[in-house]
A and B are shown apart, each in its own frame.
Chain A
């Protein structure tokens, strides 16, 4: 396996860079989030920034209606907001899977333009408490034309509620909140990949 940090010479919009290899890409992120609290307070976090990395699978599948589709795994989420002190990391105890699905039917060559969704399980640190979600925060972008999705805006589908980690006996690995009452909710107004931080291409050898 060779890993080389690619230069701008590679056309990242070329869908053909995906099949036959496993990609690991990192993006610098800017975002705007809204947090809702139980007492009615709404906290706007307009200055969210950080890094995110995903790995895309080397296998392109086909949906029931003949469109190419590819599984992506989020490997790292690390955002913060200076103004509000919010820190967001990924919950490492469960996979954060996503899917990229071409809009037109066909093989790997029609992977773009594509619709993308990600299921995110996060750990929020805020005001001395830690919060986790048990329903995924689903982030979506429709009709992306480049991958990695630099310049693409993702939105959350609705909001997702978060529980205080102290209310979950099973900690970050607990799947079902049981009797716990949600303590806050997060909706993302927009999260946008601003530029690529790294791109590691790992071709899969035959035989």
Chain B
């Protein structure tokens, strides 16, 4: 970690506070006799206490906690569920402060004051109007937040490396995980990246009539300001008789992303996916999106295709075809048999009958057991579905998710795109 020596005292104080809060959280988790007696799984207690610690430690940790809550490939599902309740309770940035963050050529064209729409730990969203009458949504990054987060992330990664040297944790990929989470978080701070991602999603989904991604006004965007067309009615989205229709439209959009485009929005939690009263759906906040390579996309489509045919051994073959080296001494036959069993036992074809989290957890466990890991990119499509699963289960449990996927899976198999250069 490279630091300015003048910052060292502040860093030490911050590190001490982080350490103290985390230790306190850990102590409270292991001494929660009442919880243990009541039969709460230890992982859930720990997740609960971690959420508590993240709320106390500020934006970087809140975001890391939220990111970790989706990573059932890394953390126990019970801990993930506890972390998923983590919300940022913060007041919006005052309007004059936000207004000062606008680039001059935008400020000159805004008529009337901004009004706050939503507030998060990292950014706040405002409604405004341009002189030409267009309504805009302006997402403003909190001033100074990028530096604070970069500092906390550096400490976080440093801490992970230190922890990894402790006897009980030797060999655990803590530094890798911390690195991955940090990278995802830093990417979310770059609103120019988010603007590009929104633009791509919008272009990719243009033929999906029931799906809307707000257009970006590129000429006004900055690393800390994202300007979009304003979509009315998002505050009160989610209700209405056509909720189910809207959520099915969202599911199809996600299948399009996963199988046809390979450009995946990995963060479609209820705050970013808005079912509208007319049965359409609005998708926002593409800050955590990933481009799969073309071979990764096709391999995932092939995996899903084999799964819809009930061919577990075929799924195993797909994974094996993406494995890069490291096969020696591993048991491919046992791997195929376990995959076969996993696919055979994998619940029903309706959303309400299929437990995606436990399927994914078992899939990752089989990979670990046999030492064959799918292309690391496989994790993003799976995460994207897992983040949406709660919404799907509640809005359309009786939808046949494999049948819905089929047209997209098949198109994905039939399409051969160029190998992407920016995975």
Where the two chains meet, the residues of A that have a C-beta atom closer than 8 Å to any C-beta of B are: 36-40, 42, 135, 138, 157-161, 181-185, 187
Contacts and interface: CB of A to CB of B under 8 A. Distances in A.
Interface stretch (B29-37, B54-62, B160-168, B409-417): B409-417
A158 B414 contact: no
B406 to A, nearest CB: 6
Contact of B413 (A138, A158, A182): A182
B310 interface: yes
A181 B416 contact: yes
A40 B308 contact: no
A187 B309 contact: no
Nearest to B414: A38
Contact of A158 (B406, B407, B411, B415): B406
15 contacts: A36-B406, A38-B411, A38-B415, A40-B207, A40-B411, A135-B309, A157-B309, A158-B305, A158-B310, A158-B402, A158-B406, A181-B414, A181-B416, A184-B414, A185-B410
B309 A36 contact: no
Contacts of A187: 406
Interface string B392-423: 00000000001000110011011110000000
A36 B308 contact: no
A37 B410 CA distance: 8
A174 to B, nearest CB: 18
A161 B414 contact: yes
Contacts of B414: 37-38, 161, 181-185
A161 B309 contact: no
Given A36-B410, A39-B411, A158-B406, 10 more contacts: A37-B414, A42-B407, A138-B309, A158-B309, A158-B402, A181-B414, A182-B413, A184-B414, A185-B414, A187-B406
B124 to A, nearest CB: 39
B229 to A, nearest CB: 26
Nearest to A163: B414
Contacts of A160: 309
Contacts of A135: 309
Contacts of A182: 410, 413-414
A161 B416 contact: no
A10 B57 CA distance: 82
Contacts of A138: 309
Contacts of B410: 36, 159, 161, 182, 185
A158 B401 CA distance: 12
Nearest to B309: A158
A99 to B, nearest CB: 15
Contacts of B305: 158, 161
A185 B409 CA distance: 10
A158 B413 CA distance: 14
